Amino acid sequence: MNTFKELLTKVKDLFEKENFVFEPRGLYDPIDYTLSLGGKRIRPVLLMAANEMFGGKAEEVAHAALGIETFHNFTLLHDDLMDRSPIRRGMPTVFRKWNDNTAILSGDTMFALAWRYFLRQPHANLQSILNTFNETAIEVCEGQQFDMDFETRSDVTISEYIEMIRLKTAVLLAGALKIGALYANAPAADIEHLYQFGIHAGLAFQLQDDWLDSFGDTATFGKQTGTDIKDNKKTYLFLKALEQSNPEQHNQLTLLFSNNPEDADSKVKEVLSIYEKLNIRTLTEQAIEEEFHLAEESLKAIQLPEERKSTLYEISRSLLGRDK
C-alpha cells in the first residue's frame, strides 16, 4: 500500500508521460497545455488510495486516475471561461491564451478524452463505474449552475450554499473514491461509508478555502486574501454573517457586497471587522470541524483494519492542515 506522497509521485509520472500530439493542433495544444500545468492531483490520488485500501494496486487503476483528473481539468477550463478568470495555476487560462471558442471546443474534447481513459480497460463493474463517473459529472455541472445563479440572488440560504459546494466540489472527491473502491470490488456498505467520507472531507475542504480567503496567512495560503470579499462572493462566511447580524449590520453587509469600490482594501477591512464582531472566524472553524469529524467517522465505519485506512487519513488530514 502506497503513502500519499508515493501516490502523488505516481500520478505526476503518469501525466508526464501523456502527450496530446494529435491534429488539429488548434484543438490539442490547449489540452496539452492544461493537463501539463499540474495542480494538486488530489482526485486521482484519492481514487488510487481507495483502490489500494481494498486490496487493489494503484497501477491497475492508472487509466481511471487519468480519466478523473482529465475530467476535473475540463471543468476548470470551462469554469474559468464562464467566470472570465484570467489566471489558473499562475498561468493564463485557455480562453485568454487562445480564445473563447478554443476553450469551449478543447474543453468538450477533454470530457471525451476522460471517457477514453475510462474505456481503456474492461472490468466486471464497468457499468457501475461509468455510471458513477457520469452522474458525478452531471452533479458538478448542476453545482456550477447553482454557483452562477447565486451571483444574482440575494436570498441564498446557508443550506443552499452547502448543497452548491457539495455538488460543485465534494461529489467529485467522493466519486473518485467510490470509483477506486468499485475497481477493487469493495462491499457496497463500505463504498457508501467511503463516499460519505469524501462528501464531508470535500465540504470541510471548501469551507476551509472560504475561511483561508478571509483569515488565512498569504504566505501559507499561497493566494491573496480578501479576494472573495472584493468579488462580492457569497461564501459561507458572508451567509453566516448575514444570519448572525442585527438589522443594521445586515444592511451594511448587503451594501458592502453590492459595491465594487476603488479602495477595495478598505472594504475588506470593514467586512472583516463585522466578521470579527459576529464571531464568524470561530463559527466557520466549528463548521469545518464538524465536517472533518463526520469525515473521520465515516472512514472509521469502513469494515477494514485501521492500518489499511492510513493513506486516506493522511490525505484528508494533510488537505485540512491537521497533519502538523
User: Where along the sequence are the contacts to its own copies (CB under 8 A)?
Assistant: 22-24, 26-27, 78, 81-82, 100-101, 104-105, 107-109, 111-113, 115-116, 119, 122, 126-127, 130-131, 134-135, 137-138, 141-142, 144-146, 148-149
Smaller CB separation from its own copies, 149 or 243:
149
Smaller CB separation from its own copies, 143 or 226:
143
Q: Which residues contact 201 (CB under 8 A, 6 or more apart)?
A: 170, 173, 291, 292, 295, 316, 319, 320
Kind and range of the H or E run holding 88: strand 87-88
Smaller CB separation from its own copies, 3 or 101:
101
The CB-of-69 to its own copies minimum distance in angstroms stands at: 17
The CB-of-156 to its own copies minimum distance in angstroms stands at: 12
Q: Residue ranges of the alpha helices (H) in the chain?
A: 4-17, 25-36, 42-53, 62-83, 94-97, 100-118, 126-151, 158-165, 171-183, 188-215, 218-221, 227-230, 236-244, 247-256, 264-277, 280-301, 310-319
Whole-angstrom CA distances from 229 to 71, 176, 239, 266, 317 are: 29, 31, 12, 11, 27
Residue 220: count other Cβ atoms within 10 Å of its Cβ. Answer: 8
The CB-of-324 to its own copies minimum distance in angstroms stands at: 39
Q: What's the grid cell of residue 18?
A: 501523456
Q: Which residues contact 245 (CB under 8 A, 6 or more apart)?
A: 253, 274, 278
DSSP state of 307: G
The CB-of-177 to its own copies minimum distance in angstroms stands at: 20
Smaller CB separation from its own copies, 62 or 274:
62
Q: Residue 87: beta bridge partners?
A: 92
The CB-of-26 to its own copies minimum distance in angstroms stands at: 5
The CB-of-118 to its own copies minimum distance in angstroms stands at: 9
Smaller CB separation from its own copies, 13 or 135:
135
Q: Which amino acid is at 261?
A: P
The CB-of-135 to its own copies minimum distance in angstroms stands at: 8
Smaller CB separation from its own copies, 26 or 321:
26
Round to whole Å and give the CA distance between 262 and 270. 14
The CB-of-28 to its own copies minimum distance in angstroms stands at: 9
Smaller CB separation from its own copies, 147 or 296:
147
Round to whole Å and give the CA distance between 319 and 324. 11
Smaller CB separation from its own copies, 86 or 321:
86
Whole-angstrom CA distances from 74 to 105, 110, 171, 202, 265 are: 10, 6, 16, 19, 33
